[in-house]
Amino acid sequence: MSEGAGGHAGHMDAIYRTQRHFYDLTRKYYLLGRDALIRDLRPDPGARVLEVGCGTARNLIAAAQYWPLGEFYGFDISAAMLETARANVARKRLSDRIRLAQGDATADTGPALFDVPRFDRVFMSYTLSMIPDWQAAIRLAAQSVGEGGALHIVDFGQQEQLPGAFRAGLFAWLDKFDVTPRADLRDTLEDIAREEGMTCRFTAKYRGYAWAATLSR
C-alpha cells in the first residue's frame, strides 16, 4: 500500500478495532438497501462476484447464501475488519466459496489481488461515503467488471425528500464516524460510465435516504 493508503488503513483500524464486534448488530437499522442490492446481483452459475470494502463480510455471506452457485471475493483496507470477516466466513463454513484479501479500493483492484481476469459482478455497499478518494475507487471497481457484467452501488443519499432537521441530524451524526454522503455521486457515476463504455441506472430510495446505482458493461 502507498503511504497515504497505510495511513487510511490505520485510521480505519482505529475506528473499527472495537466497533467490529457489534458492527452488524447496529448497522442493520440504518444501512438500508443492502439486501436489495444482493438480490439484484443475479449472478449466473459459476460467476465471480467481488465486494469492494467488504468489512465484516456480512454482505458476502448473505450473497453467497442467496446465490449458492457463485464464487465470492472481497477485500478491505482494515486488517481489524478482515480478522472479523475471516472468522465470520469460517463460522458459516463458507471459506471454500469466499476469498478475502487486504487492499486499498483507491489503488488495488480485485483482478490483481485475486489473480483473476475480471469479475461478473462487483458491488460497493456504504463504502464510498468513507473512502477519501471515492471517485478513484469507483473507477477501479468499474474497470474490474468484465464484458456483460455490472457494478452495483448503494450508499447514503442526500435525504432530499426527508425533513431538513432529519438530514442535518443524520449528517452531523455520520460526521462523527468520518462518513460523508457524496452529493455529486450521480454525476461522477455517469461520467465514469461514459468513460468505460457502460450504462448507468441511478435510483433514489427511501425518499433519498439511500442512493443506488448499477453500471452495466
Share of the chain above pLDDT 70, in %: 86
Sequence length of the chain is 217
Look up the pTM and report it.
0.87
- Calculate ∠ Cα 16-204-57, nearest 5°: 30
Question: Is the distance from CB of 192 to CB of 142 less than 8 angstroms?
Answer: yes
Mean pLDDT of 41-51: 98
Q: Tell me: the pLDDT tens digits for 172-191?
A: 999 988 899 999 999 999 99
Domains defined along the chain, listed by start: 3-216 (3.40.50.150)
pLDDT tens-digit series, residues 10-32: 555 555 554 544 445 445 546 89
Per-chain mean pLDDT for the chain? 90
Which distant-in-sequence residues (6+ apart) come within 8 Å of 8 by Cβ?
Answer: 77, 104, 132
Digit-coded pLDDT (tens) for 98-141: 999 999 999 999 999 999 999 999 999 999 999 999 999 999 99
Q: In what order do the strands lie in the sheet with 145-156?
A: 98-102, 71-76, 48-52, 119-125, 145-156, 210-216, 199-205
CB neighbours (10 Å) of residue 86? 15
Q: How sure is the predictor about 67, in pLDDT bands with cuts at 50, 70 and 90?
A: very high
Helix (H) or strand (E) holding 123: strand 119-125
